[in-house]
Amino acid sequence: MRFVVPELSDPNAHPRAVRRAVGHRADEVRQARRDYNERIRPLLPPSLQQLQQTELHDARVQSLRIDPTQRTLQLCLLGDDRDGYFDLRLDYKDIEMTPQETSLLCLIAHLESAEVDRDEVDLIPTDAEGNGLEGSAPPVFIHRLLWNTGIQTGCEGRGLNAFGEECFIIFTLTPEIEFRFGGLEIKIERKTETSFRADGILSRPADFITVVREPGKIEGMDA
């Protein structure tokens, strides 16, 4: 992520001066992000401007479709903001993903516990000053997604976690994926009913992850 807000894992373990300094730095980072978003907003198409304003915190994957031959990625999320739940469909165009990035995204999508922690919209401008130039290469847009998988990687302190183990601070696996693409279509629909089962798990079809295989490609051999 470009803008990382500093946090203290256990604020009470630090002097007041440290807590105050960290809080001040966190405010600076938040303001820097707001200023940067406003600066790049005129350079973004309407779909990216809308994505900038969409709250993705705690959003979960409903379905995923990756087509390397068409260079497309469709990511459908269930979001939740102050107005309630909403379906969000993101169709990325002219996107390039490595096999490793594809595998990581599929693994994240497969986890029932995985949620979006935060995201950033960015772009690589067509020239050093950030101005579009006639006849120059089109800009490359960027969407960074930081995920909270819920996979525990360690703990410290006192207390009991969900497994009955003595633990106060729980650390989880938080992978980040950066999409680079040429265009985006976005669709948002408000929901009157949630998509969760009675046990609290998100209801998804059996084939909610699809990766289109390149025809004629033999794995392990160069093209």
71: which 2 tokens?
Answer: 């260079």
Q: Which candidate, 174, 12, 152, places its Cα nearest to that of 161?
A: 152
pLDDT truncated to tens, each residue of the chain (223 aa)?
999 988 877 777 788 899 899 999 999 999 999 999 999 999 999 999 999 999 999 999 999 999 999 999 999 999 999 988 999 999 999 999 999 999 999 999 999 999 999 999 999 976 544 454 444 678 899 999 999 999 988 877 655 555 655 656 778 899 999 999 999 999 999 987 766 765 667 888 889 999 998 776 666 665 4
Q: What is the DSSP letter of 221?
A: S
Closest CA to 88 of 145, 4, 172: 145
Domain regions of the chain by residue span: 13-43, 46-211
Q: Please provide the distance, in angstroms rounded to a whole number, between the alpha carbons at the two ends of the chain.
A: 34
